Amino acid sequence: MNDFLLHKANLIMQLRSQSITDKSILSAVEKVPREKFVPESLRQHAYENASLPIAGNQTISQPYVVARMTQELAMKQSDRVLEIGTGSGYQTAILSFLARRIYTVERIRPLLVSAENQLKALKISNVLFRHADGHLGWPEAAPFEKIIVTCQIKNIPETLKAQLKDGGILVAPVGEAGKEILLKVTRNGDQFKMEELMAVRFVPMVAGTAS
């Protein structure tokens, strides 16, 4: 455990050096035990600033990417946030400390169940889970102040843009697989301002669901 604490402290120092300046995000990274969200065989690597494989041919994102996407959302404690791609649940857990309610959607049922169990074990209670196609979002809970997409998409689905509140922010990796750019999208009425942030690599968003 002491090793994890030391490695976590080193990771937080790295994030600070990479311009993660939001103290609430750094605090969330400190609170969430990333080792609980990676396969047991990889736990010694939990606090490396790198993505790691998880079940279902998916990945847990690099901590810097998690922190950067979260920082770009400029979250407020009153926000309702839609997350597309629950995955391991690590990003979900980080978000849970920064907003009022998180609505998270995952197409692979075993991943969703594992993430839900892990967050319950951590006594995180402001997250709602749904097994569904991420392209559809969560229409009956819309609009959302913030939307985060944690899988590669060629274009932002109109369904998700429609579920973003006026003045809201959406962050997503957009483009051809392997060439995607992290985009920050800010809604102003029917206009959507696009800002390119950095090159990233994510697993693709896939239509439908898997049991």
Domain-located, residue 161? yes
What domain count does the chain have? 1
Does 158 reside within a domain?
Answer: yes
Domain assignment of residue 102, yes or no: yes
Domain hosting residue 90, numbered range: 50-199
For residue 2, what pLDDT band results from cuts at 50, 70 and 90? low
Residue 20 lies in a domain: no
Which contiguous run of DSSP H or E holds residue 24? helix 23-31
State the CATH number of the domain containing residue 143: 3.40.50.150
* Residue burial 53-75, b: 16+ Cβ < 10 Å; e: rest: ebebebbbbbbbbbbbbbbbbeb
**Cβ-proximal residues to 16 (8 Å cutoff; 6+ apart), any chain:** 26
Confidence band for 178, pLDDT divided at 50, 70 and 90: confident
| Most distant CA pair in the chain, distance | 51
pLDDT classification of 11: cutoffs 50, 70, 90: very high
Residue 180 lies in a domain: yes
Residues 172 and 101: their CA atoms lie apart, in Å, by: 19
Q: What average pLDDT does this structure show over 42-66?
A: 94
Average pLDDT value over all residues in the chain: 95
Is 61 annotated as catalytic? Answer: yes
The catalytically annotated residue of 51, 61, 88, 114 is 61
Name the band, by pLDDT with cuts 50, 70 and 90, for residue 3.
confident
Question: Measuring CA to CA, how many Å separate 43 from each of 67, 119, 172, 187?
Answer: 20, 18, 27, 39
Sorting pLDDT into bands at 50, 70 and 90, what band is 1?
A: low
